[in-house]
């Protein structure tokens, strides 16, 4: 009997030990294994994880589930999400699994799936796996015995493959020699590979939060909390600050003044730079519906197009592939350099930013804010029920008011939490903030009654 929804915006994610229990992880792995078996080429699945304590429990459960249906498993330990996408394809595996809740705190964990080419599973594939998960008879019938049971082995040296891939994304005629960089690894999956690749390219690297203990991932550090990086950049007179999240698929950049660079401005700066070098395919970039209208204006100014997708780097990538575009991302810091990565990759993106600074021969504050942003505000509202938006009485009238004031609005439920996300954007900041207060009060009454 179907009792819960497994897949959210980015894989299966929730509190470890409750929503994401060992039993759920094992059954999800079995369901995925059953789905993949019909398309198996090598009968191998790769598993990586970030530094959460619960990763041990979930990893072992996934291994049990996959080997129970006859799959062989390769475990590579703590590695960034984009590394798992790359190594899955590089090692010719049928699929890859990353155990991570990305930027969430240590209590949560998640399971992300990649196909044999390093692409995230489509929504359609997720639905098929979810259907198998709730079919007890199919799960029972798929379990194998004797010599058909799969085996598992751990490989500890795959970091070298990923470092080579990262270096390949950086121009061979450039070096980071003479540059001082502050890197915050968020006590997460890039705590080894991040400093290593920057140092090998010649940078003087000051590393923060690189001592994971299973519970301190994303804790007051990294992409969600760049305060320490900002202060260190100023203190050590660094050229740039880079803050990653727990699984290193996103980054926040801090300029030499210690000020955070907006994600949309970063997309605009790097996208325009790629175009100037003849490296931007499709003469366009892809961002999400969350991105600032100022990015639209800047792309038009540069003779380029901006295409928008639904929220989630998976959806950004879908449009990129469909339209033949090799660059895109989200304002939150998921940046996809598709020539080198199949998903958001904080380190590949950071190297692209560093290459831009070297090419321009300018400071970060001078080149990473090429346009002005429209005033924009995002509020997450805690709610009791996720009532379909079209069924909320009075919402149409509220949205008509916003339209009349030329305030762009985006309203959606979180895929993993009981929250409603409300984004407003308009040229008049005072009016936009006033309307946000009205919308928050409206939704609190409508969804928490």
Catalytically active residues, by annotation: 102
Question: Do the bridges between strand 335-337 and strand 327-329 make them parallel or antiparallel, or are there none, so unpaired?
Answer: antiparallel
Whether the Cβ atoms of residue 206 and residue 233 lie closer than 8 Å to each other:
no
How many degrees, rounded to 5, is the angle at CA 418 between CA 415 and CA 420? 75
The per-type count for the chain, helices as H runs and strands as E runs, is 15, 18
Whether the Cβ atoms of residue 177 and residue 97 lie closer than 8 Å to each other:
no
Q: How far apart are CA 286 and CA 307, in angstroms?
A: 5
How many degrees, rounded to 5, is the angle at CA 381 between CA 250 and CA 396? 110
Identify the three-state secondary structure at position 287: strand
Please name the residues in contact with 141: beta carbons below 8 A apart, sequence gap of 6 or more: none
First to last CA, the chain: 29
Q: Which residue, 389, 391, 442, is CA-closest to 411?
A: 389
DSSP string, 134-184: T-HHHHHHH---GGGS--EEE---THHHHHHHHHHTS-TT---TT-EEEEE
Identify the DSSP state of 156.
Answer: -
Q: How far apart are CA 288 and CA 220, in angstroms?
A: 27
Whether the Cβ atoms of residue 95 and residue 88 lie closer than 8 Å to each other:
yes
Question: Do the bridges between strand 72-78 and strand 7-8 make them parallel or antiparallel, or are there none, so unpaired?
Answer: unpaired
How many degrees, rounded to 5, is the angle at CA 225 between CA 224 and CA 229? 125
Identify the three-state secondary structure at position 244: strand
Q: How far apart are CA 412 and CA 441, in angstroms?
A: 16
Q: How far apart are CA 174 and CA 354, in angstroms?
A: 10
Name the token pair of 92: 């010719």
Residues paired with 412 in a beta bridge: 421
Whether the Cβ atoms of residue 295 and residue 287 lie closer than 8 Å to each other:
yes
């Amino acid at each position: 009997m179907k009792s819960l929804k497994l897949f959210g915006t980015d894989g299966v994610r929730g509190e470890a030990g409750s929503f994401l229990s060992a039993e759920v992880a094992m059954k999800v792995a079995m369901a995925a294994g059953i789905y993949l078996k019909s398309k198996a080429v090598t009968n191998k699945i790769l598993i990586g994880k970030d530094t959460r304590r619960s990763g041990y429990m979930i990893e072992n459960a996934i291994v049990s589930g996959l080997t129970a249906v006859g799959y062989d498993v390769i475990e590579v330990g703590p590695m960034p999400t984009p590394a798992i996408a790359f190594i899955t394809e590089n090692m010719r595996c049928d699929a890859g699994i990353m155990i991570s809740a990305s930027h969430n705190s240590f209590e949560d964990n998640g399971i992300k799936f990649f196909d044999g080419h390093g692409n995230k599973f489509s929504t359609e594939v997720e639905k098929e796996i979810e259907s198998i998960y709730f079919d007890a008879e199919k799960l029972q019938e798929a379990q194998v015995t004797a010599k058909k049971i799969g085996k598992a082995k751990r490989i500890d040296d795959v970091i070298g493959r990923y470092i080579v891939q990262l270096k390949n994304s950086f121009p061979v005629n450039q070096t980071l020699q003479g540059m001082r960089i502050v890197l915050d690894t968020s006590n997460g999956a890039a705590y080894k590979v991040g400093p290593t690749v920057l140092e090998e390219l010649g940078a003087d690297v000051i590393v923060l939060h690189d001592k994971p203990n299973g519970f301190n991932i994303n804790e007051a550090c990294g992409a969600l909390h760049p305060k320490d990086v900002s202060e260190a950049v100023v203190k050590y007179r660094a050229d740039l600050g880079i803050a990653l999240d727990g699984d290193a698929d996103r980054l926040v950049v801090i300029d030499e003044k210690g000020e955070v660079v907006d994600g949309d401005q970063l997309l605009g700066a790097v996208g325009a730079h790629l175009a100037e070098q003849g490296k931007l395919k499709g003469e366009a970039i892809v961002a999400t519906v969350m991105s600032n209208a100022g990015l639209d204006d800047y792309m038009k100014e540069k003779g380029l197009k901006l295409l928008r997708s639904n929220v989630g780097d998976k959806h950004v990538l879908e449009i990129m592939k469909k339209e033949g575009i090799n660059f895109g991302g989200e304002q939150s810091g998921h940046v996809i350099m598709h020539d080198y990565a199949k998903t958001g990759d904080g380190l590949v993106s950071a190297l692209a930013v560093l290459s831009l600074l070297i090419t321009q021969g300018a400071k970060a504050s001078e080149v990473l804010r090429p346009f002005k942003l429209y005033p924009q505000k995002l509020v997450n509202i805690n709610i009791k029920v996720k009532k379909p938006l079209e069924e909320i009485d009075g919402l149409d009238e509220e949205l008509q008011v916003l339209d009349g004031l030329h305030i762009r609005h985006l309203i959606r439920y979180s895929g993993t939490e009981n929250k409603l996300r409300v984004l407003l954007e308009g040229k008049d900041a005072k009016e936009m903030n006033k309307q946000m207060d009205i919308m928050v009060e409206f939704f609190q009454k409508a969804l928490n009654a």
